[in-house]
């Protein structure tokens, strides 16, 4: 193979205080996250990089006294074209000069995973290759002639297993060796046969226009021939090329050679890979263990697959929610008359422990402050407004964390892809891909982690669609209110079940329709994405990756959403505890009717009465439900003075039909504060979030109105 051994401008004496930058990338599903984690020890930072629109993660490491920052680029098949992840890699590649790229491949699937590596070596002079999954290769008795490949590609190749940690030390040594060595490798050159004269022509043109580049001129020429219009336009602008000249060369190729240029280039690269691998991979055992094939057969079967996937998802979430709030196990035990174990589960759930902690903290603070002679209104503001707000944020943390752990687990094992494939056909009709099943299922427990878990979706448009629509899925807090209202309407368990089922059906239909409206209206997508997914082999999950992924995303939630939730919680305190006559003491619940919140409720009464919510106390509780849906119950309990939520609902003087209308409105009208703030942090635009809230309020009003009209005609 021809290797251009041009010495680049990178030769410099290593300085101890210099921070070197290396960038990690590779095919998806090669264990990049695990490797990043092993290299950096898991502490993650985010930063903006030149020319890249999204923030990228990076970690730091010191090896043999050399400071290195490791940039974690997304996984990519082609490096330059396609979805958001690939565009991020492209933007990074075009605008940054890392000291070294470490490109990760899967030793058990080299033919495919070497593809981006080869492409990168054509583009950039400083690339080393990691062949990950060495432990699996050994178990399958698969041997790769690494030395021969190193010679062919003229770079370091390191075998690692991010799972067992083997090879990581060697990799670090090699990275440092590369960074401080003077020997530079230059670009990989593949022979493209009949295309060569045209490549040369374009290369000369690029050299004239942009002589000094960190990328190979030849590679840019290749991308001009291979790339789509978008990529071409970017390259032409970035390197000051003459558009007419580039087009004329491409036209020339089409006319003279009559070949499909992109196909020819891709095929030549694959042929190159096939050739260098020929005789260098020795495999003596079965490629895939039979249990994997059996499991795949279940997942990928129509009907059976989706059911199996749903069972797995529901069981997993059930565990998470039981740990978090005791729900639904507590409800089941209560209904069976087993109140003692039910109470035990509730009191030892994470949410209960957090609220216990904050209850005591606020009692302590309140005592302390009153001992210091601070007036009551301030004490109430600090204990209920500020501490209550912090408690609200913290009470979400365990759940958010656990949902991310499960998400990471499913992704790392390869189960997520199977689940996505099994649901793809159904969700495609609503403009979504199979991967969006995860946020949907999470949504039934809690909308906050559901919105946050849309991060695992590949397509940005789909991510925004799901993040905006998923709050229509009734969460557990809404179910609690539904249960109380249903019990207030009827004592018959069958009627209660029918009421709740009807609410769920309405919500899910609205969710699907909203998704369709968003994908077709907002993003003008004709149909859902077509499925084209790699099914990675099943893996043992990597505990450190689970921990790291969950920790990183939970902290991101805390930073982004935490402060806003706190601020809004303070605002709500002002609405509820002050009125035109000043501060309203907490000990005087009857005086709530003087608060700004109550005045707002009374003001909205003429609007809400036509849809059956004909009591200002109900409206007030809906206002408070904006903080958290459970608070609807506690508010009514406070105002009416009844301890039993069912009695409290009956006490506000609504008929059974009106209570049902209240339940419908409550289910649809708006998600809680924390969800809205999460939506903002994921979608990025307040405008879109506000439009969605307006849409939800309007939709809730219209649907409740329609149902109220239907109910009028029923006996």
Partner 1 sequence: MVTEMYVPARPNVIPLSQAPTGSKVRVINVVGGKYRVQKIFDMGLTPGVEAFVRQNIYYGPVIVDVRGVTIAVGRGIAEGILVEII
Question: Mask of contacts with partner 1, 174-213, x by CB under 8 A?
Answer: ----------------------------------------
Q: How far is the CB of 3 from partner 1 (least distance, A)?
A: 24
Question: Could you say whether residue 132 binds partner 1 (CB under 8 A)?
Answer: no
Question: Which residues in the 381-420 window bind partner 1 by CB under 8 A?
Answer: 417
Question: Could you say whether residue 115 binds partner 1 (CB under 8 A)?
Answer: yes
Among 212, 255, 340, 530, binds partner 1 (CB under 8 A): 530
Q: How far is the CB of 35 from partner 1 (least distance, A)?
A: 19
Among 16, 183, 258, 687, binds partner 1 (CB under 8 A): 258
Distances (CA, A) of 271 to 142, 268, 525: 22, 5, 36
d(CA 483, CA 489): 10
Question: Could you say whether residue 219 binds partner 1 (CB under 8 A)?
Answer: no
Question: Could you say whether residue 582 binds partner 1 (CB under 8 A)?
Answer: no
Nearest CA-CA partner of 553 in 321, 396, 325: 396
Q: How far is the CB of 260 from partner 1 (least distance, A)?
A: 5
Note whether 589 and 638 are within 8 A (CB).
yes
Among 296, 384, 615, 630, binds partner 1 (CB under 8 A): 296
**CB-nearer residue toward partner 1: 116 or 326:** 116
Note whether 300 and 422 are within 8 A (CB).
yes
Part of the chain binding partner 1 (CB under 8 A), chosen from 212-220, 299-307, 400-408, 447-455: 299-307
Question: Could you say whether residue 77 binds partner 1 (CB under 8 A)?
Answer: yes
Question: Could you say whether residue 141 binds partner 1 (CB under 8 A)?
Answer: no
Q: How far is the CB of 305 from partner 1 (least distance, A)?
A: 8
For CA atoms 176, 177, 178, 180, give the dihedral sign: positive
**CB-nearer residue toward partner 1: 193 or 582:** 193
Question: Could you say whether residue 532 binds partner 1 (CB under 8 A)?
Answer: yes
d(CA 410, CA 315): 13
Ramachandran angles phi, psi of 292, nearest 5°: -65, -40
Question: Could you say whether residue 251 binds partner 1 (CB under 8 A)?
Answer: no
**CB-nearer residue toward partner 1: 110 or 470:** 110
Part of the chain binding partner 1 (CB under 8 A), chosen from 106-114, 477-485, 509-517, 661-669: 106-114
Helix 656-668 vs helix 476-489: crossing angle, to nearest 10: 170
Nearest CA-CA partner of 423 in 536, 552, 310: 310
Q: Token digits for 342?
A: 């039910």
Sequence-separated (6 or more) residues with CB below 8 Å from residue 352 = 325, 326, 346
d(CA 618, CA 603): 13
Question: Could you say whether residue 2 binds partner 1 (CB under 8 A)?
Answer: no
Diameter over CA atoms, the chain: 92
Torsion of the alpha carbons at 133, 138, 141 and 145, rounded to the nearest 10: 70
Question: Could you say whether residue 260 binds partner 1 (CB under 8 A)?
Answer: yes
Question: Could you say whether residue 297 binds partner 1 (CB under 8 A)?
Answer: yes
DSSP letter at 472?
G
Part of the chain binding partner 1 (CB under 8 A), chosen from 185-193, 292-300, 313-321, 550-558: 292-300
> Applying CB under 8 A, what is the total number of residues that bind partner 1?
40
Ramachandran angles phi, psi of 162, nearest 5°: -65, -25
Q: How far is the CB of 167 from partner 1 (least distance, A)?
A: 20
**CB-nearer residue toward partner 1: 115 or 626:** 115
d(CA 411, CA 274): 29
**CB-nearer residue toward partner 1: 154 or 268:** 268
d(CA 228, CA 311): 42
Question: Mask of contacts with partner 1, 414-453, x by CB under 8 A?
Answer: ---x---x--xx--x-------------------------
Distances (CA, A) of 183 to 8, 12, 410, 454, 688: 10, 11, 43, 44, 53
Q: Token digits for 277?
A: 């691998």
User: Within 10 A of 210 (CB to CB), how many other CB atoms are there?
Assistant: 15
**CB-nearer residue toward partner 1: 236 or 400:** 236
* Bond into 670 cis (ω within 30): no
d(CA 92, CA 396): 35
Q: Are strands 188-189 and 582-583 parallel, antiparallel or unpaired?
A: unpaired
For CA atoms 111, 122, 160, 48, give the dihedral sign: negative
Part of the chain binding partner 1 (CB under 8 A), chosen from 165-173, 203-211, 260-268, 360-368: 260-268
**CB-nearer residue toward partner 1: 82 or 328:** 82
Part of the chain binding partner 1 (CB under 8 A), chosen from 511-519, 530-538, 641-649, 659-667: 530-538
d(CA 185, CA 126): 7
Part of the chain binding partner 1 (CB under 8 A), chosen from 262-270, 359-367, 490-498, 699-707: 262-270
Question: Could you say whether residue 708 binds partner 1 (CB under 8 A)?
Answer: no
Note whether 112 and 270 are within 8 A (CB).
no
Question: Could you say whether residue 234 binds partner 1 (CB under 8 A)?
Answer: no
Question: Could you say whether residue 300 binds partner 1 (CB under 8 A)?
Answer: yes
Part of the chain binding partner 1 (CB under 8 A), chosen from 213-221, 245-253, 290-298, 591-599: 290-298
Part of the chain binding partner 1 (CB under 8 A), chosen from 202-210, 329-337, 533-541, 678-686: 533-541
Q: How far is the CB of 253 from partner 1 (least distance, A)?
A: 12
Question: Could you say whether residue 169 binds partner 1 (CB under 8 A)?
Answer: no
Question: Could you say whether residue 524 binds partner 1 (CB under 8 A)?
Answer: no
Q: How far is the CB of 537 from partner 1 (least distance, A)?
A: 8
Sequence-separated (6 or more) residues with CB below 8 Å from residue 639 = 589, 592, 593, 617, 620, 621, 648
Part of the chain binding partner 1 (CB under 8 A), chosen from 3-11, 240-248, 509-517, 526-534: 526-534
Among 9, 43, 55, 111, binds partner 1 (CB under 8 A): 111
Give the 3-state secondary structure of residue 54.
coil
Note whether 601 and 576 are within 8 A (CB).
no
Q: How far is the CB of 266 from partner 1 (least distance, A)?
A: 5
Question: Could you say whether residue 250 binds partner 1 (CB under 8 A)?
Answer: no
Question: Could you say whether residue 108 binds partner 1 (CB under 8 A)?
Answer: yes
Question: Could you say whether residue 358 binds partner 1 (CB under 8 A)?
Answer: no
Q: Token digits for 198?
A: 């045209």
Question: Could you say whether residue 228 binds partner 1 (CB under 8 A)?
Answer: yes
Among 81, 312, 318, 558, binds partner 1 (CB under 8 A): 81
Question: Could you say whether residue 298 binds partner 1 (CB under 8 A)?
Answer: no
d(CA 692, CA 690): 5
Ramachandran angles phi, psi of 623, nearest 5°: -60, -45
Question: Could you say whether residue 82 binds partner 1 (CB under 8 A)?
Answer: yes
Q: How far is the CB of 426 from partner 1 (least distance, A)?
A: 10
Sequence-separated (6 or more) residues with CB below 8 Å from residue 401 = 550, 551, 554
Query: Which residue do the tokens 């490949």 mark?
Result: 149
Question: Could you say whether residue 257 binds partner 1 (CB under 8 A)?
Answer: no
DSSP letter for each residue of 552-605: HHHHHHHHHHHHHHHHHHHHHHHHHHEETTEE--TT-GGGGGGSHHHHHHHHHH
Give the residues lining the site for partner 1 (CB under 8 A): 77-78, 81-82, 108-113, 115, 228, 258-260, 262-263, 266-267, 270, 293, 296-297, 300-302, 305, 417, 421, 424-425, 428, 530-537
């Amino acid at each position: 193979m021809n290797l251009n051994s041009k010495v680049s401008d990178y030769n410099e004496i290593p300085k101890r205080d210099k921070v070197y930058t290396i960038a990690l990338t590779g095919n998806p599903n090669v264990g990049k996250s695990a490797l990043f984690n092993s290299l950096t020890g898991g502490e993650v930072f985010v930063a903006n990089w030149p020319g890249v629109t999204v923030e990228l993660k990076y970690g730091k490491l010191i090896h043999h006294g050399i400071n290195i920052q490791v940039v974690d680029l997304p996984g990519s098949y082609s490096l330059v074209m396609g979805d958001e992840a690939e565009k991020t890699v492209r933007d990074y590649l075009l605008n940054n000069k890392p000291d070294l790229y470490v490109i990760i491949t899967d030793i058990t699937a080299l033919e495919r995973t070497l593809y981006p590596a080869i492409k990168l070596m054509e583009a950039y002079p400083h690339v080393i290759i990691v062949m990950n999954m060495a432990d699996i290769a050994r178990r399958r008795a698969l041997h790769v002639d690494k030395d021969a490949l190193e010679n062919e590609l003229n770079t370091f190749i390191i075998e690692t297993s991010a799972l067992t940690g083997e090879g990581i030390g060697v990799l670090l040594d090699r990275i440092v060796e590369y960074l401080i060595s003077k020997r530079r490798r230059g670009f990989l050159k593949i022979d493209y046969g009949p295309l060569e004269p045209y490549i040369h022509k374009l290369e000369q043109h690029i050299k004239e226009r942009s002589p000094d580049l960190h990328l190979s001129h030849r590679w840019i020429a290749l991308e001009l021939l291979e790339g789509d219009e978008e990529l071409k336009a970017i390259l032409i602008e970035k390197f000051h090329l003459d558009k007419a000249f580039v087009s004329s060369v491409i036209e020339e190729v089409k006319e003279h050679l009559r070949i499909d240029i992109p196909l020819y280039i891709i095929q030549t690269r694959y042929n190159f890979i096939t050739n260098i691998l020929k005789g260098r991979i020795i495999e003596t055992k079965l490629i895939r263990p039979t249990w994997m094939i059996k499991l795949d057969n279940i997942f990928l079967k129509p009907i059976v697959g989706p059911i199996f996937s749903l069972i797995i998802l529901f069981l997993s979430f059930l565990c998470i929610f039981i740990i978090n709030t005791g729900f639904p196990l507590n409800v089941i035990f209560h209904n069976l008359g087993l109140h003692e174990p039910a109470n035990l589960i509730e009191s030892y759930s994470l949410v209960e422990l957090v609220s216990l902690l904050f209850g005591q903290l606020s009692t302590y603070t309140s005592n302390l402050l009153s001992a210091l002679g601070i007036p009551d209104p301030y004490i109430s503001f600090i204990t209920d407004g500020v501490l209550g707000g912090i408690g609200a944020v913290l009470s979400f943390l365990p759940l958010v964390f656990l949902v991310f752990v499960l998400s990471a687990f499913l992704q790392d094992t390869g189960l997520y892809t199977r689940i996505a494939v099994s649901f793809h056909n159904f969700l495609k009709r609503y403009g979504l891909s199979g991967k969006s099943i995860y946020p949907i299922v999470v949504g039934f427990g809690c909308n906050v982690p559901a919105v946050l878990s849309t991060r695992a979706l590949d397509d940005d448009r789909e991510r925004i669609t799901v993040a905006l629509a998923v709050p229509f899925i009734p969460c557990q807090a809404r179910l609690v209110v539904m249960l109380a209202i249903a019990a207030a309407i009827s004592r018959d368990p069958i009627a209660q079940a029918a009421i709740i089922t009807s609410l769920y059906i309405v919500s899910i239909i609205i969710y699907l329709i909203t998704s369709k409206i968003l994908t077709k209206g907002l993003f003008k997508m004709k149909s859902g994405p077509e499925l084209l997914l790699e099914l990675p082999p099943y893996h043992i999950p990597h505990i450190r990756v689970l921990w790291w992924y969950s920790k990183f995303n939970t902290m991101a939630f805390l930073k982004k959403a935490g402060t806003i939730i706190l601020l809004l919680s303070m605002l709500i305190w002002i609405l509820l505890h002050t009125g035109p006559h000043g501060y309203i003491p907490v000990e005087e619940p009857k005086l709530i009717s003087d608060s700004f919140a109550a005045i707002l409720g009374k003001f909205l009464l003429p609007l809400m009465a036509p849809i059956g919510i004909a009591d200002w106390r109900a409206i007030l509780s809906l206002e408070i439900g904006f903080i958290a849906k459970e608070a609807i119950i506690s508010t009514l309990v406070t105002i009416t003075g009844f301890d039993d939520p069912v009695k409290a609902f009956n006490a506000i003087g609504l008929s059974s039909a009106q209570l049902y209308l209240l339940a419908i409105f409550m289910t649809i009208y708006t998600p809680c504060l924390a969800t809205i703030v999460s939506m903002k942090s994921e979608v990025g635009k307040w405008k879109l979030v506000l439009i969605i809230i307006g849409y939800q309020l309007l939709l809730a009003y219209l649907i409740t109105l329609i149902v109220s009209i239907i109910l009028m005609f029923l006996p």
